[in-house]
Structures are given as structure tokens and as C-alpha cells.
Amino acid sequence: MEVVVMPSYEAMSLAAAKLVADILNAKPNAVLGMATGSTPLGVYQELVRMHREEGLDFAQVTTFNLDEYVGLPRQHTQSYHYFMHENFFRHVNVSPGNIYIPSGTTSNYRSFCDWYEQRIKDCGGIDVQILGIGSDGHIAFNEPGSSLSSRTRLKTLAKSTIDDNARFFDRPSDVPIYAITMGVGTILEARQLVLLATGANKSQAVAAMVEGPVTSMTTASALQLHPSAQVFLDESAASELKMREYYDWVKIKKPHAPPV
């Protein structure tokens, strides 16, 4: 796992966006794994800017989103369908037929989840998966206790996640209790993982993910098992890390390492 601490949210977002753009430039038909939440918004804004100003091309790209609330129709302003459309897809040239987001309104979740897994495989697997982290250390909606080999499935949200998300809804009782989410095992199969975290309220989850044991109680700790995972942090999200000096040392020295 490579831990990169950047001086600000903006700097962190630009660095992660550049990484995605480099992958896209090398492989124009890359499969991108998308995440929702406020954290990746800066990455999406930078990718949109690159598309407009530098011609970054999404015409051949396929995307798979991590998760969706159960029960919210796609036009609901808090659905992840709506979020992705508003914040990214309507600003770039991804072909609508190449956009996959789990359905929160299917009549058969089991078969939808199987189909979603199969679509990822049929599209060649995810080249780079963007991730955020919940304050309880979850990735996507893989709450504490989720199997580290879990696949796309229906998940009951933790009370802390429901509370975290309540700020986006008119009434606490409007917050969905269930979600459909890629599993930890699904996420680990992406060729590259890029996780972003910002703010002091993520610092404990980040420390548990990076320096704690690999445990289903912090599903983000599964990134330790991945051969190519990068974690981009701002100063406050990094504030609880014990090995901080080493991460900064690597950042300085890595560009001068012999080519691999």
C-alpha cells in the first residue's frame, strides 16, 4: 500500500485525478470503478476539467459504481444514480450504455447482483477503482463484519452510517436502511485501487485501515492485501498515522528509485 499525504484536499484530488487520467491515456477503453460521497468530488471536477480543456476522452470508457441505496428511484436527488449523473456523467462523454450503477429498485436483488458481477467480468474487470472510506472504516457499503471475500449483495447499513448520511435527507426516517454494494472481494479484484480520505473525522478509520490489522471490522483494511493500492490523504485525515515520516520519505525518494 502506498500512502501519499498531500497538503490540501485540492492537491490530493488533483494527484488522484492525474493517476486516473494516466491510466485512461494509456488505455482509452479502461474500465473505471466509480465511488460516491463528498470525498471524490474534487477528482471528478478535475477529470471534467481535463475533459473540457485537455481533451481527456471517455468515449470508450466503461464505468461501474460501487453501490446504491435500496428503495431510491434513480431520479431521487439522494440516489447515487443522480449523484453520478449530476457530478460527473453529464459533464463528460462516457457513452450512456457503458455506465453501470447498481439498481436500488430491482425486483430480484439476488439475480441483479449476480448479473452485475458477471458484467464486470465480461467487460474485462475494473482497471482502477476509486474509493472513499466511511467513518467506521467501510469501503463502498461493506459495513464492519462484512466478509473480506464478499461479492455484490444487499447489505443492511450500520446505524452509524445511517446517522452519517442523515444530513443529506429531509428527515432521519427518510435515510435508506439497505443498500446494494460491491463486496470487498469484488473490489479487491480491481487491478488498481485508489482510496481518498479527507478531514479529521476520517483519521481514526484511516489509521485502522493503513496501520491496523487486516480485519472485517475495518473493511478498508483489506487494501493491505491488494498488490497495487494507493491511499491519498490530506493532512487532517493523516493525523493519526504513526508511520507518517516513512510515507513522506517514500514520497521524496520514490521518483529517484531505479526504474521497475
DSSP state of 87: H
Query: Quick check: is 136 catalytic?
Result: yes
Q: Which of 103, 98, 87, 100 is nearest to 48 (CA)?
A: 87
Q: Which three cell numbers stand for residue 95?
A: 457513452
State yes or no: residue 156 binds ligand GLP (CB under 6 A). no
- The whole-angstrom separation of Cα 213 and Cα 235 is 22
Whether 245 is catalytic is: no
Instruction: Give the footprint of ligand GLP on residues 64-83 (CB under 6 A).
Output: 66-67
Residue among 39, 62, 146, 221 that touches ligand GLP (CB under 6 A): 39
Residue in 46, 68, 127, 143 annotated catalytic: 143
Q: Which of residues 197-256 bind ligand GLP (CB under 6 A)?
A: none
Residue from 67, 117, 127, 234 carrying the catalytic annotation: 67
Contact 229, 4 (CB under 8 A): no
For strands 67-69 and 178-181, give the pairing: antiparallel
Q: Helices marked H in 65-202 — which ranges? A: 80-87, 109-122, 159-165, 184-188
Task: Work out whether 93 is an interface residue with ligand GLP (CB under 6 A).
Answer: no
Q: Which stretch binds ligand GLP (CB under 6 A): 12-20, 30-38, 92-100, 118-126?
A: 30-38
Q: Is 102 in the site for ligand GLP (CB under 6 A)?
A: no
Q: Give the span between the Cα atoms of 233 and 67, in whole angstroms.
A: 22
Choice from 35, 193, 205, 238 touching ligand GLP (CB under 6 A):
35
Question: Rounded distance, CA 156 to CA 149, Å?
Answer: 17
- Closest distance between ligand GLP and the C-beta of residue 211, in Å? 19
Q: Which residues bind ligand GLP (CB under 6 A)?
A: 35-39, 66-67, 132-134, 140-141, 161
Q: Which residues are catalytic?
A: 67, 136, 138, 143
